[in-house]
Structure formats: C-alpha cells, structure tokens
Chains A and B, each alone.
Chain A
Amino acid sequence: MKPAAFEYVRPGSLNEALQALSRHAGNAKILAGGQSLVPMMNLRMVHPAVIIDINRVPGLDGIRTDGNALVVGALARHSTLRESPIVATHCPLMSEAYRYVAHKPIRNRGTLGGNISHADPASEMPAVLVATDATIVVKSARGERTIAAANFFIGLMQTALQTGEMVTEIRIPIAPANQGWAFEEAANRKGDFAMAAIGATLTLTGGVCSQAAVAVAGMSDRATRLSALEALLERKPLDDDLILRAAVLAKNSVNPDSSYHADVDFKRDLAEALTERALKNARARCK
C-alpha cells in the first residue's frame, strides 16, 4: 500500500507547470489536492513516472466573478468553496451540493479542478457543473481551450482532457436572482459518494416553469442532464402533479448501474424520490 517511485516536480508558475506537462507527455500526472490521485497511487492503480505538484503555483485558487460568470480557479479547495459567500450568492446549487461532499480533512485538501479531472460518476460537483452549463478552461503549452461541462465528462473517470492539458478554471454562469435551486442526495453514510444525487434549478414566470435544469449523479458512468424531464416541465404550471409526473419520468429515464450498496431498482426509486424532493425545494426557492 505504498506508491511506486516517481520524479517530483514542483513548478513555481503556471507556465513552468505546462512546460513540465508537455515535456513529460503521457508519463506525468498533475497533483492538486491529491485526495483522489494519492489513494489511486497508494493502491497502485496508477503509477505515474512524474508528479507535477501545482500546489505552489500562484493565482490558481481564486474565486471571483467576471461579467456574468462565477470563476473558480482549479486549485480552490472544497473547504473554501463550501464556505464561500461569493459561491453562495452566485451558484447556490454548488453551496448546497457541498453539504454532501466528503469530510473536512478531505475537503481541506481536495480541489474543484482535481475533483472534475478525476471525474468520479458518483461525485457531486460534476452534476453541479453539468446542471449549470459551466465551462471548463483547460491549458497546455500549446494554448487554451474551453469545454462545456456536458462535453468534459465523457465516461467513467474519463474526461475530454488531452495529453499535456490541465484544468485551470471553471466558469459558471451566475445564477439569476429569481432562480430556485436544490441538491438532494442519498448516500450510505454522510460524506460517502452518492448512491444517487439530483441537482436542479428552476425559474418560474407567473407560476409557469420558464427554465428547468436537472442533473443526476451516481447513476451511470458520468453526471448527465435529464433533458426529457426538463422538456416535460418547461412552459407548464409547476404544480405538485407535474412534479410527481417528472419524478416518475426520472425513474424511467435513468439507466443506473448496480452497485454493492444499491441495485438497479433501488437506484430508480432513489431517482424518483430525490427528483420530487429537489423540484419541490427548488420551486419553494423561486422568486
């Protein structure tokens, strides 16, 4: 249970980090918070030849607004984001989802950039970013590109990151002040990865749903939007009956994998129950 030997590189700037990543091509891993990577190294599921420790790269851990986006640096820690008033104001869905994320020692080290690069399908933050139409900014020695969250998560612990690229920023559209939100999760113990989780945002215009976004985590190989459910809600009066129909649609449209703690039928039931809860809570927060 000890990691294999590696060469340790500690860049002092983003440029140095990108150069090191380019130089070592497919043999290097970026070390941010290390709360997913180091367990995998200890278990020898991965054994990178080179570790590029970006913890001392300045300017990567900011939380700020830029125009109509909340911008989170890749190295921002979960503990900081969980307590951040800027996040609570501009992406309340993220603040609420953080109630379910891990335990304090893990949150003290773990980063948003590392979390999404690891892309665990039962993790909360990918669902938040998919629900909010966030954009992932990635850089390499060749330049920069942006990837929509929905295209960033491509499979089980797989992302659209290419060799030599690293996440530098996450840009989340600022939530409109009248938008309601809710994040609901079922886990075996508090802080565990989700058996199932639903993140939702809703906007009501005169009692009619004018916008709905519903994302699910813990079901399949990645966080996904439930677009059929969103279509069912939009342009209709958001009464209890519609929410119950949406919950049944969630149950029938998810395609869960069975896991040790939750079989397929149970996960479908969770999708239904959590969708109902999330939509009702989000509706109550609409202004």
Chain B
Amino acid sequence: MSTVKVNVRVNGTSYAREIEPRMLLCDFLREELELKGTHIGCEHGVCGVCTVLVDGESTRACLLFAVQADGAEVRTVESLAKDGKLSPLQQAFWESHGLQCGFCTPAMLMVATELLEHDPDPSLEDIREAVSSNLCRCTGYFNIVDAVRTAVAMIKEGKQ
C-alpha cells in the first residue's frame, strides 16, 4: 500500500512520519506518536471523545485523515499540564468533580480550552453549548459546566 509523508507539530514538537493516507488523526496520535490521551469512541463524529485542537480549532480527530494535518499545529490533552502542574481547567475539573469515569474528559478539556481562548468570560449558555458537542454518560454535565465556571474564576483570580 502506498504511503504519504506527513509533517505535523503536536503539542509543540515536530514529527515526520510516513503513513497510509487512510490513517485517521486519532489513530496517528495514539499509535504513531503514542499520545494516548486522545480517546476513541464512536469513530463517526458523534461522541466527541477524540476532539483535539487543529490550528486552534476544535476538530474531531476521527473525521480528519492524519495526512490532512500536514503542516498543522495540533494540540491534545497532553499539552495542558506544564511541568507536572495541572492547567486551571484541569484543576477545576478535579475540584468540581467534573469527571467520573474520565473517558470524555480529555475532549471536554479541549473544547473548554478552545472556548476560553476565544472568550475568557463565557456565559452559562456558551459553556453549555461548547460541552454539548461531547457525550458524557456519567456526570450529567452539571459538574462539567461547574468545572468550566470554576476555571474561569480561577483564571480571573490568578490574574489579579
């Protein structure tokens, strides 16, 4: 089977790989780069657990071929904690009990990251809209929304 070359920056590191064109970005991240933080669920764009940021925009990694990310900057959940310290969103998910089984959490964190990068003070409706793109079968979303609001408050306090 023919292969294609792909050069992609993931979480600030450049990678060059030769892959089959049919390799999905989620499989590329997990199997080629061994970044297992990005989960795989339905594999047809519905559940949202594979959501990562491609050039800053939330993207279903199961609906993008890795070759399409050639030249792009990809961010996954592994980019959030710095030097062993959780990001404010991660800390807030911890404190607000924003997860139970944790399967949807990496993607919830990434859509929330995108949201706060566009709007550091989102409305409740904006938060609900953002996290509604991802399925969570444990928390019922209340604690996830709370966690994002907590993160907003933590970031504001940190800046004061």
For chain A residues 80-110, which have a beta carbon within 8 Å of chain B? 103-106, 108-109
Stretch in contact with the other chain, from B59-67, B78-86, B98-106, B143-151: B59-67
Stretch in contact with the other chain, from A20-28, A32-40, A121-129, A176-184: A32-40
Determine whether the beta carbon of B132 is less than 8 Å from that of A190. Answer: yes
Determine whether the beta carbon of A1 is less than 8 Å from that of B22. Answer: no
Determine whether the beta carbon of A106 is less than 8 Å from that of B60. Answer: yes
Name, among A8, A43, A79, the residue most crowded by chain B CB atoms within 10 Å (CB to CB).
A8
For chain B residues 138-160, which have a beta carbon within 8 Å of chain A? none
Determine whether the beta carbon of A109 is less than 8 Å from that of B21. Answer: no
In the assembled complex, the Cα of A116 lies from the Cα of B26 at a distance in Å of 27
In the complex with contacts A38-B45, A38-B63, A42-B44, A4-B22 CB distance below 8 A: yes
Measured between beta carbons, the chain A residues less than 8 angstroms from B67 are: 8, 10, 53
Measured between beta carbons, the chain B residues less than 8 angstroms from A58 are: none
Decide yes or no whether B1 CB sits under 8 A from chain A.
yes
**Count the A residues whose beta carbon is within 8 Å of the partner chain — how many?**
30
Measured between beta carbons, the chain B residues less than 8 angstroms from A190 are: 129, 132
Measured between beta carbons, the chain B residues less than 8 angstroms from A105 are: 48, 51, 57-60, 111, 133
Determine whether the beta carbon of B2 is less than 8 Å from that of A7. Answer: yes
In the assembled complex, the Cα of A41 lies from the Cα of B24 at a distance in Å of 11
Decide yes or no whether A5 CB sits under 8 A from chain B.
yes
Determine whether the beta carbon of A2 is less than 8 Å from that of B63. Answer: no
Closest Cβ of chain A to B24, distance in Å, is 7
The A/B interface has a contact count, at CB < 8 Å, of 88
- Of B1, B21, B22, B57, the residue contacting A2 (CB under 8 A) is B22
Decide yes or no whether B4 CB sits under 8 A from chain A.
yes
Determine whether the beta carbon of A39 is less than 8 Å from that of B22. Answer: no
In the complex with contacts A4-B22, A35-B63, A103-B132, A108-B1 CB distance below 8 A: no
Render A1-23 as a binary contact track against B, CB cut-off 8 A, 1 for contact.
Answer: 11111111010000000000000
Determine whether the beta carbon of A39 is less than 8 Å from that of B4. Answer: no
Measured between beta carbons, the chain B residues less than 8 angstroms from A4 are: 22
Closest Cβ of chain A to B88, distance in Å, is 21
Determine whether the beta carbon of A43 is less than 8 Å from that of B44. Answer: yes
Measured between beta carbons, the chain A residues less than 8 angstroms from B65 are: 8, 31, 34, 38, 51, 53
Decide yes or no whether A191 CB sits under 8 A from chain B.
yes
Determine whether the beta carbon of A108 is less than 8 Å from that of B59. Answer: yes
Closest Cβ of chain B to A98, distance in Å, is 13
Decide yes or no whether A220 CB sits under 8 A from chain B.
no
**Count the B residues whose beta carbon is within 8 Å of the partner chain — how many?**
29
Name, among A4, A34, A43, A191, the residue most crowded by chain B CB atoms within 10 Å (CB to CB).
A34
Decide yes or no whether A55 CB sits under 8 A from chain B.
yes
Determine whether the beta carbon of B21 is less than 8 Å from that of A104. Answer: no
- Of A31, A38, A41, A104, the residue contacting B133 (CB under 8 A) is A104
- Of A1, A6, A79, A103, the residue contacting B48 (CB under 8 A) is A103
Measured between beta carbons, the chain B residues less than 8 angstroms from A43 are: 44
Measured between beta carbons, the chain A residues less than 8 angstroms from B45 are: 35, 38-39, 106
Decide yes or no whether B68 CB sits under 8 A from chain A.
yes
| Chain B residue nearest in CB terms to A39 | B44
Determine whether the beta carbon of A7 is less than 8 Å from that of B63. Answer: no
Closest Cβ of chain A to B45, distance in Å, is 5
- Of B22, B24, B44, B58, the residue contacting A104 (CB under 8 A) is B58
Decide yes or no whether B43 CB sits under 8 A from chain A.
yes
Determine whether the beta carbon of A6 is less than 8 Å from that of B22. Answer: yes
| Chain B residue nearest in CB terms to A1 | B43
Enumerate 19 A-B pairs (CB-CB under 8 Å) in ascending A order.
A2-B22, A4-B22, A5-B20, A6-B22, A7-B2, A7-B21, A8-B65, A8-B67, A34-B63, A39-B45, A42-B24, A42-B62, A42-B63, A51-B21, A53-B67, A103-B132, A104-B114, A105-B60, A190-B132
Instruction: Give 9 new A-B contacts, CB below 8 A, not counting A34-B64, A38-B65, A109-B60.
Output: A5-B22, A6-B21, A8-B21, A42-B44, A51-B21, A53-B68, A108-B58, A109-B63, A190-B132
What 10 pairs across the A-B complex have the smallest Cβ distances?
Answer: A103-B133, A8-B21, A39-B44, A105-B58, A1-B43, A108-B57, A38-B63, A3-B22, A42-B43, A39-B45
